[in-house]
Structure 1
Amino acid sequence: MNLDKIVYRYTAILAAIVILAGCATVGPDYVAPEIKAPSQWNASAPGSTFGPDRSVDSLATWWTSLDDPALISLIELALKNNIDVKKAESRIREARAQRGVTEAGLFPSADGSGSYMLSRTENHSEVGTTRELFAAGLDAAWEIDLFGGVRRSVEASQASYEASREDYRMVYVSLAAEVALNYVDVRTLQERLAIVEENMKLQAETYELANHRFKAGLVTQLDVDRAKTNLDETRASIPSLTTRLAAAKNRLSVLMGEHPGYVDSRLAAAKPLPVTPLSIALGVPAETLRRRPDVRTAERELAAQTARVGVATAELYPKLSLAGSIGIDASTFGGLFSGNNRAAAIGPRVGWNIFNAGAVRSNIEIQNARQEQALLQYENTILLALEEAENAITAYANEQARAQSLEDAMKSSADSLQLVLTQYKSGLIDFQDVLDVQRTFLSVKDNLAVSKGTVVSNLVRLYKALGGGWTPDVPL
């Protein structure tokens, strides 16, 4: 029987196998679990609005709502150059390539070969003979995916690839928030240093006043020493604040993908904190959960693990493969092109792991347990996301109230400071009263600066908790 007849005979068989291969896929089909979330947030913040968000990208670039060009520039630069972003991009490429490797299992594979051999036979009584052998061949094989094991592997690879894309988005969300938080730290520390400098000037004037009154015989040396101590204590706070400021700037530089010191010139001049918007669209919990990349990642990992159950289940069933080869042997190179030297073989092969001491079924149990764990992880991720969002809303609202109280306290403290200085000059009160009021004024003013920075930081954390910081248009 010639090669053409062999190929013709198996064409019908091959077509039937291909049709059969698409009919059976063992293992559970994945159905995305329903997101169970409350209809409204428990907490609320001043100026916040609820209800479904009309704009898909309303949170994508939340930092623009803070109206701070320096912050906007730093975040955009970090999203472009940050090392973690580049690593996440690399992981996406890896997952995409792994999907390609898995998909290749759906198709036949072929190997070509060629060889040349020169042999010589020596004989004591006769002249030796030399022979040449030229050979070429093509081997092909195809494992028919009868029960969907390979297709389930492709499903798992696809879901893992999609999970890596969500991880990339999570890097975006976290990076934008971290840049903003460190930027707020820089501006807050600059403000606190300015407050210290301002108070040192005030305390230096008080020290000079006490000195003059001492020289005039109106007060004792104790007043002078107390004033000097107060001034030195305030000055002693500068190094620690400066150290923290340098650390925040260095952290920003590294987030930019640059060496420490990169942002120093950009942030050398002290500027006010970013302005928080008058209103914030909180949306509804379910919308936030659908947007958060960590929730989306957990859902994709659950899908991947569900597919792996099918991969393990397919090992219970027989495996069918087709193998074929074409070979040519010739004593001359020209003979490789002669049909008379051609040989071919083709045929099916069935393999079935009949006995393995329960290893296959145990592996199915392992994959089912991992699927259960993935589902629990998904549910836990939802709970943690809701917790983070509720805490962020509460913290933002309460810190705003605290900042307002400190604002009122500072006004009262400033009035008290002017009053005690006037009374001390008139000799109506003791110098200890002046020191107490000055310390209170410095403490309240510093706490107010910290609180204002915390308000902005809590807003940043709220945007992060709501899943802001990425857009579907980002190329992946």
Structure 2
Amino acid sequence: MLNTSATEHRKKQPARHGPLRHRAWHALATGLAILLAGCAAAPPYQPPAIDLPAVYKEAGASPAKPGGPDAIAPDWWRAYGDATLDRLEARVEVSSETLRKAVALLQDAQAQARAARSAYVPTVTAGAAFNRSRVSDNVVGRSLAGKTTNDYLLSVGASWEPDLFGRIGSTVNAAEARAQASAEDVAAVRLGVQAALADDYFGVRSLDREAALLQQTIEAYTSVLELVTNRYRGGIATEGDVAQARAQLESTRAQLSDLRLNRTQLEHALATLVGEPASRFSLAPAEGTGHPEQLPRVPAALPTQLLERRPDVAAAERRVAAANAQIGVARAAFFPSLMLTLGGGLESSSLASWLSAPSRFWALGPALAGTLLDGGRRRAGEDSARAQFDASAAAYRSTVLRAVQEVEDGYAAIQALQDEANSQRIAAQSSARALSIGLDRYRKGAVAYLDVNVLQAASLSSERALETLRRRQLTASVGLIKALGGGWEGSATTAN
């Protein structure tokens, strides 16, 4: 009885420990696969750190608000109150070839992201073939020697690569980050074209006001020339006075011709920005010397908000994320790839038996392949990916620093130009007053024409300088809005 029990006990032992041993090996294999997959994954991503100041040094009278930056509307150009500018800006979205190019590049990046995601799905192929062949009579040991045979084949196959070590996932993350960067590039290009159009438009209108000023000056100089000529005929003025008056008049006419050339060139630039041939585009001159456009209030912001408000900064950050994901792709090259394949179909030498059960064939099985020796190519690939990440991070920090500089420049320009315009306005008024007094004294014979000539030149120069300052103020205002990101609203992105 004891021997029998011992025998039965020994027979039961393997049955009890077999499943345990199988589960242990399964757990070990699973743990090893998870460990290897962790080694192959891309490093945890965080945007590169950069030390930014708490406030803008040059903000001056426009301090940042604790609750956030002043809102800049998406159609920010409407704040200038010019209906013609509004109509031109509306054409950028539909006609600008520069913007169309950026959109096309975005569509390309999105297509590449979709192509990368397709690797998650099995690839299924199908094929049909017919082949008629004859084997030579002189082939020894072949059962088909001297025979002609047909081969009808219909096959279906499927293959799938499980993403064991994160290669596919990292590739998808990189492609998606690049697509997000391209989307921000589109926003940056759009903002750039909008700002350039506003600059050129304000330039055209400023030249229109200068042209009107020069035309008024020419009319005034013509009257003065008549006055001097009459005085010369009466023996009161000299021939030199007449020559000086005529030279002053013709010099102003030459300035007007040069100004009109500059306006024409700016008008051509506007045509290109709105996507129209320069030959068919024209912008009617503004009438008078008034300033219909208004300077909008200077927006307030904080340096840290540039990371959320500038599309070029967002694009640079997304490229850093893409470079980080590429490190994961390079790491995955160190590990083998597993391919699961399934194939089957029908094959026969005659159509009569083609669809019968014996004509079936199939194959199923996994394939594991990896590189054992490559002379350091994979290590060099990982080093290259890390170097590209460092370069992208440096480019991101450079973009942020340049953005801060542009905002500081914008705030400084607006403040300085406002002070300069106030002083220049007083100077222009004083010059006009001095010219009026000088002309009155010349009519009375109290001063020579040379004194009037100097006063005329000074008055015209002051008026043109004031108009130039007005144009610079508008340009600085547009530049600050652009530097702050315009009305762009960043798209939410997820760190990989």
Global fold match (TM > 0.5)? yes
Q: Deviations over 1:125-178 (max 9, x none)?
A: xxx976432111122222222110111010000000000000000011101100
Aligned residue runs from structure 1 range 74-223, under 5 A: 74-119=88-133, 131-223=149-241
| Paired residue type of 1:424 | Y
State the 1:80 CA deviation.
Answer: 2.1
Q: Equivalents in 2 of 1:402, 1:147: separation in Å?
A: 64
Aligned residue runs from structure 1 range 29-428, under 5 A: 29-34=44-49, 36-44=51-59, 48-52=62-66, 58-119=72-133, 131-264=149-282, 266-270=283-287, 272-273=290-291, 275-277=293-295, 279-428=297-446
Q: Deviations over 1:271-323 (max 9, x none)?
A: 65453346222221111332101110110000000000110011111111122
- The secondary structure found in structure 2 opposite 1:322 is strand
Q: Equivalents in 1 of 2:399, 2:135: separation in Å?
A: 76
CA pair 64-52 structure 1, distance change in 2 beyond 3 A: farther
- The secondary structure found in structure 1 opposite 2:353 is helix
Return 317-326 or 290-299, whichever deviates more.
Answer: 317-326
Q: Equivalents in 1 of 2:409, 2:100: separation in Å?
A: 31
Q: Equivalents in 2 of 1:278, 1:81: separation in Å?
A: 27
Q: Equivalents in 2 of 1:278, 1:470: separation in Å?
A: 18
| Paired residue type of 1:463 | I
- The secondary structure found in structure 1 opposite 2:341 is strand
Q: Deviations over 1:249-280 (max 9, x none)?
A: 1111111110104441x433446545334622
| Paired residue type of 1:42 | K
| Paired residue type of 1:37 | L
Preserved CA contact (<8 Å) 1:187 1:270: no
CA pair 41-424 structure 1, distance change in 2 beyond 3 A: same
Q: Equivalents in 1 of 2:237, 2:136: separation in Å?
A: 126
- Structure 1 gaps of 5+ residues are 1-12
Q: Equivalents in 2 of 1:292, 1:407: separation in Å?
A: 35
Preserved CA contact (<8 Å) 1:40 1:50: yes
How many matched pairs?
Answer: 452
Q: What residue number does 1:27 align with?
A: 42
Q: Equivalents in 2 of 1:100, 1:290: separation in Å?
A: 27
Q: What residue number does 1:437 align with?
A: 455
| Paired residue type of 1:40 | V
| Paired residue type of 1:208 | E
Return 204-213 or 102-111, whichever deviates more.
Answer: 102-111
Q: What residue number does 1:6 align with?
A: none
| Paired residue type of 2:284 | L
Preserved CA contact (<8 Å) 1:61 1:470: no
Q: Equivalents in 2 of 1:432, 1:33: separation in Å?
A: 67
- The secondary structure found in structure 2 opposite 1:445 is helix
CA pair 343-286 structure 1, distance change in 2 beyond 3 A: same
Preserved CA contact (<8 Å) 2:70 2:301: no
| Paired residue type of 1:339 | A
Q: Deviations over 1:394-451 (max 9, x none)?
A: 1111111111111111111111111111111111111110000000000000111111
State the 1:453 CA deviation.
Answer: 1.0
| Paired residue type of 1:168 | V
| Paired residue type of 1:51 | K
TM-score (structure 2 length as normaliser): 0.86
TM-score (structure 1 length as normaliser): 0.89
Q: Equivalents in 1 of 2:70, 2:98: separation in Å?
A: 25
- Structure 2 gaps of 5+ residues are 1-25, 138-145, 492-496
- The secondary structure found in structure 1 opposite 2:72 is coil
CA pair 277-231 structure 1, distance change in 2 beyond 3 A: closer
Return 139-148 or 452-461, whichever deviates more.
Answer: 139-148
State the 1:53 CA deviation.
Answer: 6.0
Is structure 2 residue 451 aligned with structure 1 residue 448?
Answer: no
Q: Equivalents in 2 of 1:145, 1:231: separation in Å?
A: 81
Preserved CA contact (<8 Å) 1:50 1:284: yes
Identity of aligned residues (%): 28
- The secondary structure found in structure 2 opposite 1:364 is helix
| Paired residue type of 1:361 | R
Q: Aligned-residue CA RMSD in angstroms?
A: 2.4
Q: What residue number does 1:3 align with?
A: none
Preserved CA contact (<8 Å) 1:299 1:378: yes
| Paired residue type of 1:256 | V
- The secondary structure found in structure 2 opposite 1:332 is coil
Q: Equivalents in 1 of 2:476, 2:186: separation in Å?
A: 24
| Paired residue type of 1:105 | A
Q: Deviations over 1:10-51 (max 9, x none)?
A: xxx9xx99x9689645231212234532221101255x3522
CA pair 20-344 structure 1, distance change in 2 beyond 3 A: farther
| Paired residue type of 1:113 | G
State the 1:385 CA deviation.
Answer: 0.4
Preserved CA contact (<8 Å) 1:295 1:378: yes
Preserved CA contact (<8 Å) 1:49 1:279: no
Q: Deviations over 1:360-383 (max 9, x none)?
A: 111111111111111111111111
- The secondary structure found in structure 1 opposite 2:58 is coil
